[in-house]
């Protein structure tokens, strides 16, 4: 923090630690061995899209970058009910490293172009044999992960939004040695409607 910033009480936000995304493949092995959760091959980056041609061009560059690979993944851009944009990448489920490399590239492309303040999170989706899904959510500004597990709904509860907190705690405990985890539970935000969940 600079002299004037300290006098004025302003602090610089911490620089994101995007390299933490490369620890997800190791965490994936832990989740499969301990909880039977395997990668689905689906990952996404969530951000608040900026208006203007500059942002649109940068977003197109990120999509084009992913599509330029010899075995290019499927890429889709959608907007959720809350107005957030999700750039979703679908790889072969066995290629978690490639998926995380692509998510890193999207974050870096947007961040390097000056759109870092609009980046919210990245998500890697896992599932068990019953089809229950769990997301590892990477908070861009914090550089930490947390699990998000929507509770499967049946019968009269259909359409209700309920979290499976027991599953979230089990995932957190399983990967605590693999990933930098978000300690403040108040930051474990629900990402209802996220692609793949």
- Average pLDDT, whole number, for the chain? 89
The 3-state DSSP class for residue 89 equals strand
Q: What is the pLDDT of residue 7?
A: 52
Q: What would the two tokens of residue 72 be?
A: 């290019």
Q: How confident is the model at residue 154 (pLDDT cuts 50, 70, 90)?
A: low
Report the percent of the chain where pLDDT is more than 70.
88
Q: What is the pLDDT of residue 106?
A: 95
Q: What is the pLDDT of residue 4?
A: 44
């Amino acid at each position: 923090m600079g002299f004037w910033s300290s006098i004025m009480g302003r602090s610089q936000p911490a620089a994101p630690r995007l390299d933490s995304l490369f620890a997800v493949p190791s965490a994936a092995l832990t989740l499969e061995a301990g909880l039977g959760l395997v990668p689905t091959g689906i990952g996404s980056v969530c951000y608040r899209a900026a208006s203007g041609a500059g942002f649109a061009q940068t977003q197109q560059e990120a999509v084009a970058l992913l599509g330029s690979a010899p075995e290019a993944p499927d890429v889709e851009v959608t907007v959720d009910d809350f107005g957030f944009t999700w750039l979703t990448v679908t790889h072969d489920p066995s290629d978690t490293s490639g998926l995380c490399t692509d998510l890193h590239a999207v974050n870096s492309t947007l961040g390097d172009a000056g759109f870092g303040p609009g980046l919210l999170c990245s998500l890697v989706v896992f599932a068990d044999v019953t089809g229950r899904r769990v997301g590892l959510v990477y908070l861009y500004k914090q550089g930490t992960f947390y699990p998000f597990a929507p509770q499967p709904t049946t019968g009269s509860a259909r359409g209700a939004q309920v979290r499976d907190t027991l599953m979230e705690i089990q995932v957190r405990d399983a990967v605590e040695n693999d990933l930098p985890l978000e300690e403040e539970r108040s930051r474990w935000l629900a990402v209802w409607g996220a692609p793949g969940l």
